[in-house]
Amino acid sequence: MFSLLKKEIQSFLGSLIGYIVIIVFLTIMSLIMWVFPSDYNVLDNEYATLGPLFSLAPWVFMFLIPAITMRLFADENKTGTIELLLTKPITDLHIIGAKYLAGVILVLFSLLPTLIYYVVVYQLGAPEGNLDQGGTWGSYLGLLFLASAFVAIGLFSSSLSDNQVISFIIAVFISFFAYIGFDFISSLALFGNFDLLVQKLGISEHYGSMSRGVIDSRDALYFFSVIAFFFMLTKLKLSSRNW
């Protein structure tokens, strides 16, 4: 598994896609947060906060993470190397886990430079350091959970097709629905007393909770469940090749 993980990371970093994803993410976030005049511009706010980062990042990740994951299985399916991979003395879960961790590590690489934003906002506080520490680190943890869930969704989507573009579109659609689809459905008030339950099925509900600095075990369990669910779907898709 570790040799496959190393191979996947080297594949990302050995090609332009890994660097492009990191550069695009940081460029978009930097322009919106520090350059373009808007409600998200940190310098235009009256108080030091990283709220714009945590509000915008899920939407950016909704497109960038599928761009990372679209090749994970689609490329293997297209070239036929998936058959060779499945004959190696490793389980399907090891294959899925290695590819998943490679995607998460690349996302983590893109998040680490945003700590510069934290340092800058910390310095801008009046007095210095006047920053909601609990909310900030809770938001970082929530963003990492959200990104990990998007990687699991993208991994499953990549296993569905040998066409990377199709895998990308499927991943974007599922991520979009998982993030705000349940909120929209609950707002229609179609299920009466169950509307709140429907809302809690969405990612944004639990991400928002963690962004307030409240680290609830139920939110962590939710994200682990989402990741495990798409792991299972990916495992079923791989296993179906042997039926």
Under the banding of pLDDT at 50, 70 and 90, the label for residue 149 is very high
Own/partner contacts of 223-229, CB < 8 Å, gap of 24 or more, are 223/145, 223/146, 223/148, 223/149, 226/149, 226/152, 226/178, 227/148, 227/149, 227/152, 229/152
**Alpha-carbon gap, residue 236 to 243, rounded angstroms:** 11
Number of domains into which the chain is organized: 1
Secondary structure (H, E, C), 97-110: HHHHHHHHHHHHHH
> What's residue 145's pLDDT?
94
> What's residue 183's pLDDT?
87
**Domain span including residue 26:** 2-242
Asked whether 221 and 202 are in contact (CB, 8 A), the reply is no
Alpha carbons within 13 A on the beta-carbon side of 142: 29
Asked whether 138 and 214 are in contact (CB, 8 A), the reply is yes
> What's residue 1's pLDDT?
65
Share of the chain above pLDDT 90, in %: 28
pTM of the entire structure?
0.90
